[in-house]
Structures are given as structure tokens and as C-alpha cells.
């Protein structure tokens, strides 16, 4: 098939793209760099040019791009091949709402594309093949997403001092995340650092400081995190914290969380914790959802551990290898509605007789996916409950 390639080269002061090109329907490229063009508005008929794929506007005088300017040209800009990493510096004086920048090849030098986005409010880097990025002091940033399938890096290896960052930061597969990476971000509320293979000592003040408004912290699916006394100082606003499938060292030995009085949701499932201290959850008076599956309790620690968590509605302690629970283990838990004890080896369920459990509507037991809804009329003093997997059933 004959393809008509039209190259238009002008550097004699072209000021507009409104050219008489109606008949050039096979046009593929329009190169009009080094002119004085002020608007990238293309003639409307060009939207029917199916082969049009390249519009070179470098070194012109375009300072504003409006949506209606791009109707014909946007598809051509998509696929723009920028071989010079600094080329986006040309965007410095353009007021844009969104820029999507795709990188095809792994860069040999630190990427500097973010320099031109210093005023951006939302930045998303997805699967960028970026080994190194220079630190950019984003002046207006509110949300930052760094989502990689394989390992990627943080801009400038750290994100500190971004004073406007407030809504959220989500970063996956970042390596390495070092201590002090997230400091001095007074407005930050939401930080999701799940899935980063991170190893962190003396969490969490080593990772976060100067972030007094943080309410959501997700460190699940990481390597190993060790806690410290006072490790949550200055993070008093935390409401949701997720550590599941991250090995959390020392959590079972002392009460590291006692200042988290607003904490509503805590997930430490499969965190290789052995709870030895009954005060581990001291002070968590607003805790509502508690997922503690796949850990261990030493001796009869479970008898006291939950006693002051009076706001608890959802407790998942499945697969904790619990053989016995003292009848008063769930005393004071008057709001408890959902209790998951699946995958344990309980001999008795005396605790169900405890009068405080009057809200309990769902109890999951056995490893064979049996959920037995209990109506308030049979709790707290059910006459007989049939559970598979129990080696002994008592009636009350």
C-alpha cells in the first residue's frame, strides 16, 4: 500500500497551525518546530486524518493548552517520542491539568522529568522503569502514587518536607525505603507502604516524624518491622493501621500502642507475634475491628488481652493455635458482634456463656468454613450449639 508521508518543515515564523491541508488526508507527521506558534489548535478537519501520529512543536511560543485546542492533535501527541529526558522542561510555562508521560526504556541517568511538574497537585508513576529520580520539591502536591510491579525508586530517595502533601501517598515495590523517608509532612493523612519488602528497625518514629495528622498507615506485606517503646509517639491521630503478613518483632512483649486512642482498625494477622504481655493493647479504647489471625498466645494471656477493648465489634483470631479460652476472655466486650475462631483447637466454648457477649451475632469456628449465626435470644446462654471440630461440647 502506498503511504503518503508528508513532512512539513517551517522555521520562517509560522504563527498558527490553521493551515490549508484539507487534502492531505494521509498525513502522518507534521513537524513545525522552531516557529512562533502560540496555540496548538489544529484545523478541525484533521481529526479525520487517521494516519496522523506525530506533531512536533518544539521551540515554539505555546504557553496555554486548552482542551478544545487538542481535539485534533491529542491523539498525535499520544505516542510523542521524547528521547531527551529534559525535553519536558519545555512544559514549565504551560498551564496543564494532566500530563501522562510514558517511559519505554530504562534510563541510564537519573530521571529529571519531575522538574517540570513542580507545581503538580497529583502525581502518579506507574511501572515507570526508573532507577533513579532526582529529588523534587513539589510545591503544591496533595496526592502521590508510586505503583510498580517490579522494583522502583522514590523521587530523590525520600519524600520529606512536602508540606502540602495531605491526601495520600501510595507506594508499592519501592526499594529501598530507609529510615527518615517520610518526615516533616505536617498535612499527610494517608500512607500506604504495603508490599515493599521493607525491613525497618524501631518503627515507627524512624520512618515517620513530623506527620501529626496521619490517620491511615498500611505497612502490610513487608519484610520485618521491629517496634520500640514510644514507637508511635507523635502519631496519635492514627485510626487505621495494617501490618498483616509483615513480621512484627517485639509487639507481643510490651504496650507499644498505648497512645493510639483513636485507633479503630488494627490488623496484625500473620505477623509472627507471640503475645506474652497482657498489656499489649493497653489504651486502645476505641478499637473496633481487630484482626489478629495467625499469631500465638503464650499461656493464658488471651484471658486478659482483650478485657479493656470495650468498643470491639469484630475480632478475628482464627488460626492462632488456641486450645483453651478462659470463660472471661471476652468479658466487657459488650459490643462484640463477630468473633472468628476458625482454625483453632478449642476444647470448650465456655466463654459463650459470659453475659457480656449479648451482641454476638456471628461466631466462626472450625477450619471447615462453618459459620454459625447466633441470634441474641440464644446468646449469651445458648443451650446447645453444634460445632464441628470441637473435641468436647458442654451445654450451659
Candidate residues 133, 227, 278, 302; the one interacting with ligand NAG per rule CB under 6 A: 278
Question: Segment contacting ligand NAG (CB under 6 A): 115-123, 153-161, 180-188, 226-234?
Answer: 115-123
Stretch in the footprint of ligand NAG (CB under 6 A) among 121-129, 217-225, 246-254, 386-394:
217-225
344 burial level (CB within 10 Å; 0-12, 13-18, 19+): buried
How far is residue 385's CA from residue 396's CA, in Å, rounded to a whole number? 10
Interacting residue with ligand NAG among 12, 20, 23, 81 (CB under 6 A): 81
Binding footprint of ligand NAG, residue count (CB under 6 A) = 32
How many Cα atoms sit within 13 Å of 313 on the Cβ side? 5
Which DSSP symbol is given to 305? H
With CB under 6 A as the contact rule, the residue among 55, 76, 113, 116 that binds ligand NAG is 116
User: Contact between 298 and ligand NAG (CB under 6 A)?
Assistant: no
- In angstroms, the CA 209 to CA 302 distance is 33
- With binding defined as CB under 6 A, does residue 92 bind ligand NAG? yes
Task: Determine whether 84 is exposed, middle or buried from the number of CB atoms within 10 Å of its CB (0-12, 13-18, 19+).
Answer: exposed
Say how far apart CA 151 and CA 125 lie, in whole Å.
Answer: 12
As measured in angstroms, the least distance from the Cβ of 140 to ligand NAG is 8
Contacting residue, 307, 310, 328, 348, with ligand NAG by CB under 6 A: 307
DSSP calls for 78-103: TT----SGGGGGGGGG-B-S------
Going by their DSSP bridges, the two strands 314-316 and 289-291 should be labelled as parallel
- Which residue's CB is nearer to ligand NAG, number 6 or number 282? 282
Question: Nearest-CA neighbor of 46 among 71, 67, 16?
Answer: 71
**293 within 8 A of 272, measured Cβ to Cβ:** no
Task: Say whether residue 246 binds ligand NAG (CB under 6 A).
Answer: no
The region of 19-27, 65-73, 181-189, 191-199 touching ligand NAG under the rule CB under 6 A is: 191-199
Of 27 and 266, which CB lies nearer to ligand NAG in the complex structure? 266
Is residue 194 a contact residue for ligand NAG (CB under 6 A)?
yes
Q: How far is CA 201 from the centre of its chain?
A: 21
Distance CA 387, CA 104 (A): 57
Question: What residues are paired with 23 via a beta bridge?
Answer: none
119 binds ligand NAG (CB under 6 A): yes
Using the contact rule CB under 6 A, the part of the chain among 17-25, 150-158, 202-210, 300-308 near ligand NAG is 300-308
Q: Which of 253, 246, 243, 288 is nearest to 274 (CA)?
A: 253
Stretch that binds ligand NAG, among 68-76, 127-135, 202-210, 214-222 (CB under 6 A): 214-222
Please give the residue ranges that form the binding site for ligand NAG (CB under 6 A).
Answer: 36, 38, 61, 63, 81, 83, 92, 116, 118-119, 192, 194-195, 218, 220-221, 240, 242, 265, 267, 269, 278-279, 282, 293, 304, 307-308, 316, 318-319, 340
Amino acid at each position: 500500500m502506498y503511504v503518503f508521508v508528508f513532512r512539513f518543515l517551517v522555521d520562517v515564523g509560522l504563527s498558527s497551525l490553521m493551515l490549508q491541508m484539507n487534502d492531505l488526508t494521509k498525513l502522518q507527521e507534521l513537524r513545525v518546530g522552531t516557529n512562533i506558534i502560540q496555540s496548538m489548535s489544529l484545523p478541525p478537519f484533521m481529526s479525520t486524518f487517521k494516519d496522523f501520529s506525530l506533531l512536533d512543536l518544539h521551540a515554539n511560543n505555546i504557553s496555554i493548552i486548552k482542551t478544545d485546542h487538542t481535539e485534533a492533535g491529542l491523539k498525535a501527541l499520544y505516542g510523542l517520542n521524547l528521547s531527551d529526558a529534559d525535553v519536558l522542561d519545555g512544559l514549565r510555562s504551560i498551564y496543564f491539568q494532566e500530563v501522562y508521560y510514558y517511559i519505554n526504556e530504562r534510563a541510564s541517568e537519573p530521571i529529571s522529568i519531575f522538574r517540570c511538574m513542580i507545581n503538580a497537585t497529583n502525581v502518579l508513576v506507574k511501572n515507570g522503569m526508573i532507577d533513579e529520580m532526582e529529588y523534587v520539591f513539589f510545591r503544591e502536591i496533595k496526592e502521590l502514587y508510586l505503583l510498580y510491579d517490579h522494583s522502583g525508586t522514590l523521587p530523590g530517595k525520600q519524600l520529606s518536607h512536602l508540606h502540602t502533601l495531605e491526601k495520600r501517598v501510595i507506594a508499592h515495590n519501592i526499594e529501598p525505603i530507609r529510615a527518615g523517608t517520610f518526615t516533616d509532612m505536617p498535612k499527610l493523612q494517608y500512607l500506604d507502604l504495603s508490599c515493599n519488602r521493607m525491613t525497618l528497625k524501631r518503627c515507627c518514629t524512624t520512618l515517620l516524624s513530623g506527620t501529626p495528622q496521619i490517620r491511615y498507615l498500611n505497612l502490610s506485606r513487608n519484610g520485618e518491622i521491629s517496634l520500640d517503646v514510644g514507637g508511635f509517639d507523635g502519631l496519635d491521630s492514627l485510626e487505621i493501621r495494617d501490618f498483616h503478613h509483615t513480621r512484627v518483632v517485639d509487639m507481643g512483649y510490651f504496650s507499644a500502642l498505648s497512645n493510639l486512642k483513636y485507633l479503630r482498625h488494627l490488623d496484625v494477622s500473620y505477623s509472627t507475634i507471640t503475645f506474652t504481655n497482657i498489656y499489649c493493647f493497653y489504651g486502645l479504647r476505641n478499637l473496633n475491628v481487630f484482626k489478629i489471625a495467625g499469631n500465638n498466645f503464650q499461656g493464658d494471656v488471651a484471658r486478659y488481652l482483650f478485657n479493656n477493648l470495650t468498643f470491639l465489634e469484630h475480632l478475628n483470631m482464627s488460626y492462632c493455635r488456641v486450645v483453651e479460652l478462659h470463660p472471661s476472655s471476652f468479658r466487657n466486650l459488650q459490643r462484640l458482634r463477630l468473633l472468628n475462631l476458625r482454625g483453632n483447637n478449642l476444647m470448650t466454648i465456655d466463654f459463650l456463656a459470659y453475659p457480656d457477649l449479648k451482641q454476638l451475632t456471628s461466631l466462626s469456628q472450625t477450619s471447615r468454613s462453618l459459620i454459625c449465626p447466633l441470634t441474641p435470644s440464644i446468646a449469651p446462654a445458648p443451650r446447645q450449639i453444634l460445632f464441628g471440630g470441637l473435641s468436647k461440647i458442654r451445654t450451659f
